[in-house]
Structure 1
Amino acid sequence: MNSLHIDTTVNGNSSGSNGGLPSPELSSGEDFYEARDPMLLESKRMSEDQIRAIRSSKKVREFYREQNELITDLLEPTEGREGAEELEKRNQVKLKIAIYGSVGVNVLLFILQLYAAISSKSLALFATMADSFMDLLSGVILMYAARASTKSNWFKYPSGKSRMETAGTIVFASLMATVSLQLIIESVRTLIDSDKEPPMPSPTAIAFVSFALVSKVGLYLYCKAISQYNAANILAIDHRNDLAVNGFGLFASLLSRYCWWLDPAGAIVVALIILRSWVWTAYEQIQLIVGKSADPAFLKKLTYISLTHHRKILQVDTCTAYHAGNNLFVEVDVVMDRETPLWESHDISEDLQIKLESLPNVERAFVHVDYETSHAPEHRKSK
């Protein structure tokens, strides 16, 4: 299998041996480190026709498609991101529209669904109303977290407050789980007390819940379009869940006039849907805030950028990236010749740090320079 492998040794050792690195034929005067593809990764790319011709295994074909995507990602330039920064500003405006728009719509929907629940006395509609209230509360939490994360206080929060958004999401998920459990308890009590009269939703109540469904479709599509942002993704998940919750709640409430227990049973199902969704969301966010590692493809990109950054970098010793909330912290250990002047090693490593911090979702990068790789790993606590 013609797999892609990145040798993390440029010169093999300080004596200048090749270390297996390809020797590209560069145009006259072109430096190895200035070439677009210094390690000849394009030579490893396979065309779609070549991939389709592979009959041995579907997994092998998928492997080469993923390798092509990796090559494209590695060769993407990291310099000149003015256009990307402008796009980021426009997307931030879209994100604010998603957050503030969701809060405004949720205020209206909460009032409408509160009327529908009280007028019909339906537990299933009470469940959808409680979900609407929590949507409103979640919007306020995310709005506060987004605003707090942009207001930095260098002395009080030296690393910024970007993790405020992740913490807010965990708090909100906990509240949603609590409300879901309370709804389940109340619905079980209603099932035990079989003397309850079935709810009778009025046409107005049905119209209000139907309006809520249509509104949630629009909000979901908008938030999904910018779901690369954590807050927008959380809102998209919430709006998607609301479609299932409100739809099922309305269905159970309407059918309960023929079978009384469908209303509390429907409320239990709605509460379980909410509970499962937000328990999983909390688990994912907790993984991010405790420092989950970045995905392997991103680590490969970091290694490639560090390895090809400058001719003075002989090796990449270690390369790690881990979440600190939604963003990433990057740590890279590179090796230079022991005779490299301090000023030069500083300038090279600082330039690499700036380059790494220009990557999307990288909040902070730390570059450490050493002259050998035989030492024990730094910062690793003994167990």
Structure 2
Amino acid sequence: MTGTDPVDPSPASSEPAGPAPADSDQTRRDRLLRAATTVSVSVASCLSLLKLAAWLVTGSAAILSSLLDSLVDVAASGILLISVRHALRPPDRSHRFGHGKAEPLGAIAQAAFVGGSALLLIFESAGRFITPEPVSDPPVGIAVMMVSLVATVALVIFQRSVARRTASTAIAADRLNYVGDTATSMVVLAVLLIGQSPGWLWLDPAAAIGVALWLLVSAARIARNAVDHLMDRELPREDRLRIAEIVRADPEVVDLHDLRTRSAGGTRFIELHVEMEGGLTLWQAHTVCDRVEASLSRAFPDVEVILHQEPAGLDDDRLDHRIARRPG
């Protein structure tokens, strides 16, 4: 008996080795998302304090525009942090598909903050055209905006890497917001460098309004992308064609129909009907579907696949026939 004891644990200890890579990938994704949200809030908070000091010293409308943008970033990044961490929660009895849609909800809140700050900035800057004022102590503003530009560019590069590796809509939305910040910082720097001559005082409020218009465009893009996710928009056409190609590549699959796709957070959902020869046993059909699901999982990481087995040529009321045909 004692001689066999060391042998028994070895199969049990080796069983978890299979799913370990997937668990490791998910853990790595979660860690990246948490790091990205924390860094975003920290950078936005520090830059807001710097720009507040610079605006109090210089009185520049352009710096005020950048300050308002950073204050919005603090609020938006805070919402991002909350929504992403909620989205990372695993499925439960009340949310069997997970909590991934918390990300686009956070992105919509970001769009609202960005759009509101843009309108406030336009209102604040309009009066400067009537009574333009020179900027006080431009070197202070220049130094602060240089620091802001370097920090924002570093954050955008980091967020780009995280968004690519996690497919997070919220991180992508936040990155788009900070891309706008880099443009804002460059515009404000140009104003501080060349816009202080008597004939160029109009450039300060003009730059602020230009930044505000950019923010409105960014807000619209963020909102549109978030709404697409909340409304379960199909995956891109290229992905759907690739899914169909993978399914049809199995030698025992005759065809497919009712292909439906969507995404929530970093998870993509694929649902379709697999048509096979009617003479296959249930066990054989199950084996075919397992093969197809494995092929789709290799091609699309972080995917959940739902397959319905159906005899080829069955005359059923297919959803495909009820959908209006549109190009693309």
**TM bucket normalised to smaller:** 0.7 to 0.9
Query: What's the CA shift for 1:127?
Result: 0.6
Give, in whole Å, the separation in 2 of the partners of 1:91 and 1:375. Answer: 41
Query: What's the CA shift for 1:122?
Result: 1.4
Q: Which runs of 5+ in 2 are unaligned?
A: 1-17
Amino acid at match of 1:204: V
Give, in whole Å, the separation in 1 of the partners of 2:299 and 2:34. Answer: 23
Alignment of 1:218-297 (within 5 A): 218-228=154-164, 229-230=167-168, 231-254=170-193, 255-256=195-196, 258=198, 259-297=200-238
Q: 1:214 aligns with which of 150, 170, 176?
A: 150
Give, in whole Å, the separation in 1 of the partners of 2:286 and 2:21. Answer: 29
Determine if contact 1:220/1:239 at 8 Å carries over to the other structure: yes
Residue 375 in structure 1 maps to residue 316 in structure 2: yes
Determine if contact 1:290/1:324 at 8 Å carries over to the other structure: no
Query: What's the CA shift for 1:299?
Result: 1.9
Query: What's the CA shift for 1:271?
Result: 0.7
Amino acid at match of 1:223: Q
C-alpha distance 317-209 of structure 1, shift in aligned 2 (>3 A): closer
Give, in whole Å, the separation in 1 of the partners of 2:282 and 2:67. Answer: 64
Q: 1:184 aligns with which of 122, 140, 143?
A: 122
Amino acid at match of 1:264: P
Q: What's the TM-score once normalised by structure 1's chain length?
A: 0.69
Q: What's the TM-score once normalised by structure 2's chain length?
A: 0.80
Give, in whole Å, the separation in 2 of the partners of 1:198 and 1:213. Answer: 23
- 3-state SS of 1:238 partner: helix
Alignment of 1:193-208 (within 5 A): 194=131, 196-208=132-144
How many residues of Structure 1 are paired with residues of Structure 2 in the alignment? 301
Query: What's the CA shift for 1:325?
Result: 5.3
Give, in whole Å, the separation in 2 of the partners of 1:129 and 1:346. Answer: 59
Query: What's the CA shift for 1:171?
Result: 1.3
| Corresponding residue of 1:164 | 102
Determine if contact 2:191/2:207 at 8 Å carries over to the other structure: yes
Determine if contact 1:163/1:326 at 8 Å carries over to the other structure: no
| Corresponding residue of 1:298 | 239
Give, in whole Å, the separation in 2 of the partners of 1:127 and 1:205. Answer: 13
After superposition, give the CA deviation of every residue in 1:86-106 in whole Å (9 maximum; x if it has no partner). Answer: 456445433433321222122
Determine if contact 2:141/2:192 at 8 Å carries over to the other structure: no
| Corresponding residue of 1:338 | 278
Amino acid at match of 1:366: I
Query: What's the CA shift for 1:242?
Result: 1.1
Q: Which runs of 5+ in 1 are unaligned?
A: 1-79
Give, in whole Å, the separation in 1 of the partners of 2:23 and 2:242. Answer: 20
Q: Percent of counterpart pairs with the same letter?
A: 23
After superposition, give the CA deviation of every residue in 1:78-133 in whole Å (9 maximum; x if it has no partner). Answer: xx997676456445433433321222122111100011112211111111001111
C-alpha distance 85-325 of structure 1, shift in aligned 2 (>3 A): closer
Query: What's the CA shift for 1:302?
Result: 1.7
After superposition, give the CA deviation of every residue in 1:177-211 in whole Å (9 maximum; x if it has no partner). Answer: 1110111122113324x2x5322135333212211
- 3-state SS of 2:163 partner: coil
Give, in whole Å, the separation in 2 of the partners of 1:283 and 1:378. Answer: 26
Query: What's the CA shift for 1:148?
Result: 0.3
Determine if contact 2:229/2:264 at 8 Å carries over to the other structure: yes
Determine if contact 1:328/1:364 at 8 Å carries over to the other structure: yes
After superposition, give the CA deviation of every residue in 1:135-191 in whole Å (9 maximum; x if it has no partner). Answer: 122221111111101123522212111111111112101210111011112211332
Give, in whole Å, the separation in 1 of the partners of 2:236 and 2:121. Answer: 38
| Corresponding residue of 2:60 | 122
Give, in whole Å, the separation in 1 of the partners of 2:32 and 2:95. Answer: 27
Give, in whole Å, the separation in 2 of the partners of 1:153 and 1:324. Answer: 12
